[in-house]
Structure formats: structure tokens, C-alpha cells
Structure 1
Amino acid sequence: MSLEQTFLAELLDAIKNDRLTLPTLPEVALRIREAVEDPEATSSAIANEIAKDAALAARVIKVANSPLLRGRIAVDNLQLAITRMGIAFVRNLATGLAMEQMFQATNDQVDARLRETWEHSIEVASICQVLASHYTDLKPDQAMLAGLVHEIGTLPILTCAEDTPDILEHKGILEKVIHRLHPKIGAAILKTWDFPPELVAIPMGYLDFERTHEGPADYVDLVTVANLQSYAGSNHRLSQVDWNTVPAFKKLGMSPEVDVHDVDELAEDLSVARSALS
């Protein structure tokens, strides 16, 4: 049995028998979610939870003051930031920002691949946010989170690779395994995290370039388009996909000829969204 077959078989067996260790949301994200879901939640109580992580608190205030929200008066504390953004926005933002700490490893090769995944997720999340604002009635903050989690299934695979040094010497094999398995694992992770169904559907759906459905554009459509846009002009295999054949563009009411990086207004908003997440 080849190295690829052996590694793939081990992962599939671990998935089948529930032995694959799925990542858990960072504690701060769980605490904020719990505070938000309290029927009697106040901005003060939520601010207190966010304040327990100084770095996260600073980033939430940064976003509240960013051109993304176009506030005319600068805010200098969490309570005002939450009032400006709204509780749901803060929950999604805090969850997304807290996830960054998950994309790290002690092995240098795995760490580099995880950071590459996170940077790509930020790019896709930023495009999702811009597309949601300009082309749909979907919530931009939820769209941002959708982009950040679309490749979350990569995490357990790379964790297993860290324990299988031989696979790290064969990057091509590892990438083939990631491509094959990360959607299914990603859906399992988001389900375990109690994410809403519209987000759980993303890992399994965003690479289906023939996907159609009734009704208006959904978050899977957004991530499909954003992911393709993120590879425009690159050497990545997905840069060869003909956008004219992808129904998600039509769902968004977006011309397949439009590249968000080339339209001034979209590119400016994209830069702002990316800055807010970085």
C-alpha cells in the first residue's frame, strides 16, 4: 500500500469510527457565544467577556472604528463598539478572530501550511463580506465567518500529518488528501460547533461548481464565488475554472466578467475588510 493510500485509509478509518480529534472553538469564543445567547444579554456583559482577552478586545474596537462600519465618531471602549456593531455582528466577529489561534503548530512545515490556510481564509472572508454587502441581502458579518470556516476541515488532517512525518516529505500527496477529505471533515467540525445549517453546508458545497437551488443566493454561493475570485490570475488549478459555467455567479446577480480586485469601489471595500481581519 502506498504512503498516500496508507495515510488516507488511516484518516477514513478515524472518521468512520469517530476517532478523529476535531478541533474545539477557543474558550473565549465559546464564552462570548454563551453570553450572546443569554436572553438577558447586555452589551456590558458581552464586553466583560471580550475584555478577558486583551488582544481580541483591541481588535474588536479596531473593527468598530474601521471604514467598514463608517462610524462618524471614534469609539474607545467595548460597550460602545458592541452598540455600534450589534450583538450578532460581535459574536460572529469575535468567533472569527479567535479562530486565528487555532492555525498554529509546533512543526514548522505544518505551521507554515496552517498559516497559509488562514491567510487564504481571510482573503475569502473579505471577498464574502464585500459581495454580501454589494450583491445580496445576506448578513456581511455572517458572510465573513462563512469565508473564515470554509477550509476548517484542513486542521485535523494537518494535525494527523504532524504525527506522520513521512507524509510531510510528500507535499503533493498531502495536498491530494486535504482536497479529498477536508469538506467532509469541515462539515463535521461546524456541526460539532453548533453552527447554523447554512454555514455547516459550506465545506461540502462551495466546491460544487454545478450547484443550483431554489430561492435567492445563500452563503455557499458567496463562498463559491469568493473562493474562485481569490485565485484569479494565480497558478492555482481553480484559476482555470470558467466562471460562466458556475451558477453561483448568476445567483448573486454578478457578471462572471467582474473581478472584485479590479473594480475600484469593490477593491477599496475589500482592502478595508481585509485590514479589519488582519
Structure 2
Amino acid sequence: RMVGNDAALSARLLQVANSPLYRGRVEIDSIQQAVTRLGLKMVRSLVVSLAMKQIFQASSDALDRQFRKVWDESLQVAAISRVLAGNVSELENEQALLGGLIHNIGALPILTKIDERYGFSADADMIDELIRELAPDIGERILRHWNFAESLANIPTACQDPGYDPGPFPTYADIVLVARLQNLAASQGIQDDWSAIPAFAKVGVESEVIIVDVEGPAEEIAEVRTMLEG
């Protein structure tokens, strides 16, 4: 009922439910059918996605560009995470997607505070440095305050630590860690030696492979990205 009262969210649910990733034999036109087809975890991801997109309205072009940069990275990491999780039987695709969406959520309050304090005079390099230093801890605190499960709440800090290795079984933080590094390699050409990073072996990705360049996964990632962008 709450979903049905939000026109923007209702429209997104119907759009995604009828997208190539979820489309069934018959096009659906009711919110109840959309929720049934997508499942509650995907609905949750879409709610978070819409909220994050609407939460920040910058007063300057410089800050708006920074937000778009953070948002674009979050979408791409989420798309890669969902595809990676498809090869890990212990993990769920939609939870991995949500993990990717929220991995840098700590950047949003930082951008909001900078906007309030500096406005048009905000410096891009200063913003990047603040996000790099502060966003992981802030993000984890936000998710814990919102009572996210431990498997998701630790993602903002864990995905920044190449040595993260809580045990022999893959976690959502492992997925997002690999997805974040894959995105850096593909978008910025930043690819260090990944062979010693435990998450790659647990997720089942060869350390020298950039999956966004591999036919098959690349198309899947593009499909998920298109779905998230609406």
C-alpha cells in the first residue's frame, strides 16, 4: 500500500518488472503484480536507489558533478555486483546489487555538508579527499543506524580493504570489493596486482580479468545498469 502511494516508485517498479531482466510472458500493469515478480529484496533495492538519487540537490555545478560521479560509480558497482553474484551459489543477486548501491552511501552526507558550508566555492580535489577519508566509516554508521543486516552494513568499510578476509566463504562485501576494483580498472585504468586479494578467489574471478571487457558478462552488466538508470 505504501509503495502504491508513491507515484515515482510505482512507475519505477512497473518499468523494471517489465524490463528484459524480469519480463515474463505477459506485461503487467499493477503494483501488486510488480512486487510479486520482482520480490521484496529487489523492491528494497529500487526504493534505496530512488531515495539516494533524490536526496541530494546541489546548489552548484561543481557539487552536482561530484554527486553524479558518486552516483554513476554506485550504479556501475551495483550492476557488476549483481552479475558477479550470479556465479556464487551462496549469495543472492539482489542483495549483491543492493550492496553495490550502498557501498559509498557515506559520500552523500559529506556532499550535503560541503554544499551547506562552501556552496559554489567547493573544490573538487578537496571533495574527493574528504570522501575517500570519511565516507567508509560514515557509510557503515548510517547502515547500522538503519538496522541493515551485518552482511550489508560492513560493506562501506570492507570493500575499501583489499585484505578483507573474514573466512573461507564469500560474502557480499567480497562481491562489492571485487566489483569496485573491476570498475576502477575499466573506467580509470587502475589495475594493480589483484592476485593476493582473497575476495577474487572466493568470488571466482581470475585476478587478471576485467569482466566488463568479457563478452557475456559485459552485456549482463549493461542490462542491469540500464534497468537501474530507468
Give me the TM-score of the superposition, normalised by structure 2: 0.91
Match of 1:251 among 202, 211, 221: 202
Q: Which string of whole-angstrom CA distances, capped at 9 and with x for unpartnered residues, describes residues 160-199 of structure 1?
A: 2123328944322332222111111111111111111111
Is residue 230 from structure 1 mapped to residue 216 from structure 2 by the alignment? no
Distance 2:35 2:217 in 1: 26
Q: Judging changes above 3 Å, is the alpha-carbon distance between structure 1 residues 71 and 162 closer, same or farther for their aligned structure 2 residues? A: same
CA shift, 1:219, in A, is 0.8
What is the root-mean-square deviation of aligned Cα atoms in Å? Answer: 1.9
CA shift, 1:261, in A, is 1.4
Is residue 130 from structure 1 mapped to residue 83 from structure 2 by the alignment? yes
Which structure 1 residue ranges, 5 or more long, are not aligned? 1-47
Is residue 155 from structure 1 mapped to residue 96 from structure 2 by the alignment? no
Where does residue 196 of structure 1 map in the other structure?
A: 149
How many matched pairs? 229
Where does residue 97 of structure 2 map in the other structure?
A: 144
Between the aligned residues of both structures, percent identity stands at 41
CA shift, 1:70, in A, is 4.9
Where does residue 211 of structure 2 map in the other structure?
A: 260
Q: Which string of whole-angstrom CA distances, capped at 9 and with x for unpartnered residues, describes residues 1-53 of structure 1?
A: xxxxxxxxxxxxxxxxxxxxxxxxxxxxxxxxxxxxxxxxxxxxxxx221222
CA shift, 1:98, in A, is 2.8
User: Higher Cα Rg: structure 1 or 2?
Assistant: 1
Is residue 270 from structure 1 mapped to residue 221 from structure 2 by the alignment? yes
CA shift, 1:94, in A, is 2.2
Q: Is the 8 A contact 1:103 1:118 kept in 2?
A: no
CA shift, 1:148, in A, is 0.8
SS of the equivalent of 2:216 reads helix
Residue 253 of structure 1 aligns to which amino acid in structure 2? G
Q: Which string of whole-angstrom CA distances, capped at 9 and with x for unpartnered residues, describes residues 71-116 of structure 1?
A: 2322121111111122333223323333211133223322221121
Where does residue 173 of structure 2 map in the other structure?
A: 220
Q: Is the 8 A contact 1:152 1:182 kept in 2?
A: yes
Which structure 2 residue ranges, 5 or more long, are not aligned? none
